[in-house]
A and B are shown apart, each in its own frame.
Chain A
């Protein structure tokens, strides 16, 4: 019983992290129809800024700077690169973000070099809570709390604020939204900023000992990669699906690593995604594309 509770706790904690990443991914997709393969790199970039500024600014200051920096980088990518390639197909834009991902990842990995593994979870790194005979680690607990607040806030804003309205309008019909006076670039830029910020917040919980293991920030890009299956299996067009997808991926991973082994946990995530996709080719909550001849 306590093992099962442990699996649930780990899965939900990790799922919260994936949900943060996948939500940003879906918001970006909804506003620009671009699959952002550079999402892991945005997170890594934010994490690197936190790592670099921590000794001078302290954890909180560095964390704020890191989140802002990742948001700024995301806007930069959208404005400088993607906005210029409006005519390119969706797939080539996705490939463009793969190029961006390679650039950022290579440069930051080079900068980190063989330096001792950087960790970013200072305030909650060593917190541990007992719950129904199981232990929940600090980073996972705080990730869960942060995710509840942020994701809740996102859905409220998405449903009730003017910003949310413009966003929904644009993803529904771009031309009509533009004719109604919605400034397209503000919507897309804000979506990218939000995606970058959420990714950088997620990295604060990933680059910790319980989540990333001994490698810390250097393993973060690989871990953040699991946000892709999360977003895909939830359905790329659905923010709610991203949250569900994140939790499914987190739970699949934690139960596979508990009942089989750690290696299989990485594969299990993808197998779950594959099964979902074969049953529902647009993900659990994704919009099914209608083909008109």
Chain B
């Protein structure tokens, strides 16, 4: 129950002090990393659970076919981005529709830093791991640079103002093809190469239990590791001092100021953290597309478009604002469904192309599903799937 929703934290004092009590009381098996007053036996059980999860994640690529691995890596990309956004919107209370812009910043930074400048592209040829770290840092810096705007605006004004970043990014990527690649063919970034282990290996020599460990399997491991790290860092931020400051700002800016929280500073920290997550997700997007970075043709459809910004918002709302676990589930719903439906229906795309494109394609079904989910969740369960899950576990425990 460490995810605090608006309903639970009614005032700044509840946000700052009441949360801790609620968190230590709760017996939720996951979350609350590093909380001091946890029963030692429960603590050990939690470590066992995490250990088991790591083993399962390690074994998944060996048993799951490649096409499902591609779906899972895409979902994990969404999960990392959504965790950043849920902290920004749910914990710090800053509505942002600019998430896809920060994906683009991360992706472009990584590509420029890692690739060598051939074919008229700008490239620095740095080691890929260093490029990854720098790309995340650059995204965070760009997010913090939005402070003059984010510090002055609140609520919906901030949401629409942040939307302008998506338009700006779209235009910049179009007019700077030597940096972002052209909209028709894009440009390629290098795979991550850690100590000689190439995560984009196409012709693998390594095999575990008779399964060749190629690009899909390696990316799955990499993405699972990144998602876990992202989760724990976010957990620490939300449960710690920063998270309390964010909730104080969210619940009442004036009261937060009185209590000694610098509102402008916390807003810019929240934007920086959330953009860093989006930047990491942006790098993961580039790897997922085999290293291809390609700016969008139109501002409202494509990899870094307003549609993607809204898809991230949908994940966060569906999962429950402020809930990290909810963000992961939301990503599975929003990013997983359009990819999994064709796999389950054996890729029968003939129905989609016939009848003048008016058929219910997987993408149409997904859009309708998440549109309806957003409406239903706001109406009936404002805490999202996270609150629903919490209620279910509480009921199971009671019976």
Given the known inter-chain contacts A90-B156, A99-B374, please indicate yes or no for A263 contacting B171, CB distance below 8 A. Answer: yes
Does B313 lie within 8 Å of A95, measured CB to CB? Answer: yes
Give A240-293 interface residues, CB cut-off 8 Å to B: 263-264, 266-267, 269-271, 273-274, 277-278, 281-283, 291-293
Does A281 lie within 8 Å of B153, measured CB to CB? Answer: yes
Nearest chain B CB to A232 CB, angstrom units: 5
Does B156 lie within 8 Å of A293, measured CB to CB? Answer: no
Q: Chain A residues near B170: list those with CB within 8 A.
A: 267
Given the known inter-chain contacts A113-B355, A274-B164, please indicate yes or no for A103 contacting B371, CB distance below 8 A. Answer: yes
Q: Chain A residues near B149: list those with CB within 8 A.
A: 274, 277-278
Does A100 lie within 8 Å of B371, measured CB to CB? Answer: yes
Query: Chain B 350-370, CB within 8 Å of chain A: the 1/0 string?
Result: 000001111110001001101
Question: At the interface with chain A, which of B185-193, B200-208, B234-242, B375-383?
Answer: B375-383
> For the complex, what is the distance from the CA of A269 to the CA of B171, rounded to whole Å?
12
Which residue of chain B lies nearest to A280 when distances are taken between CB atoms in the complex?
B152
Nearest chain B CB to A118 CB, angstrom units: 13
Interface check A225, CB cutoff 8 A: yes
Does B153 lie within 8 Å of A102, measured CB to CB? Answer: no
Give B96-153 interface residues, CB cut-off 8 Å to A: 148-149, 152-153
Does A277 lie within 8 Å of B382, measured CB to CB? Answer: no
Most buried by A among B360, B370, B375, B378: B378
Number of A-B contacts (CB under 8 A): 135
> For the complex, what is the distance from the CA of A107 to the CA of B156, rounded to whole Å?
26
Query: Chain B 224-263, CB within 8 Å of chain A: the 1/0 string?
Result: 0000000000000000000000000000011100100000
Q: Is the interface of A mostly helix, strand, loop or mixed?
A: helix
Given the known inter-chain contacts A107-B368, A110-B358, please indicate yes or no for A91 contacting B155, CB distance below 8 A. Answer: yes
Nearest chain B CB to A264 CB, angstrom units: 6
Question: At the interface with chain B, which of A46-54, A80-88, A133-141, A154-162?
Answer: A80-88
Interface check B49, CB cutoff 8 A: no
Q: Chain A residues near B157: list those with CB within 8 A.
A: 232, 236, 277, 281-283
Interface check A92, CB cutoff 8 A: yes
Interface check B167, CB cutoff 8 A: yes
Q: Chain A residues near B359: list those with CB within 8 A.
A: 110
Q: Which of B155, B254, B371 contacts A102 (CB 8 A)?
A: B371
Q: Chain B residues near A111: list those with CB within 8 A.
A: 358
Q: Chain A interface: which size bin?
A: 35 or more
Q: Which of B159, B258, B379 contacts A84 (CB 8 A)?
A: B379
Interface check A3, CB cutoff 8 A: no
Nearest chain A CB to B377 CB, angstrom units: 8
Interface check A222, CB cutoff 8 A: yes
Which residue of chain B lies nearest to A34 when distances are taken between CB atoms in the complex?
B156
Nearest chain A CB to B314 CB, angstrom units: 8
Does A96 lie within 8 Å of B160, measured CB to CB? Answer: no
> For the complex, what is the distance from the CA of A287 to the CA of B179, rounded to whole Å?
43
Which residue of chain A lies nearest to B152 when distances are taken between CB atoms in the complex?
A281
Which residue of chain B lies nearest to A29 when distances are taken between CB atoms in the complex?
B156
> For the complex, what is the distance from the CA of A93 to the CA of B160, rounded to whole Å?
15
Which residue of chain B lies nearest to A291 when distances are taken between CB atoms in the complex?
B254
Q: Which 4 A-B pairs have the closest CB atoms?
A: A99-B374, A102-B371, A270-B164, A113-B358
Interface residues of B (CB under 8 A from A): 6, 95, 148-149, 152-157, 159-161, 163-164, 167-168, 170-171, 174-175, 253-255, 258, 298-300, 306, 310, 313-314, 317, 355-360, 364, 367-368, 370-375, 378-379, 382
Task: Give me 6 other A-B pairs in contact (C-beta within 8 A), A222-B298, A232-B160 excluded.
Answer: A88-B378, A92-B378, A95-B374, A271-B168, A274-B164, A292-B254
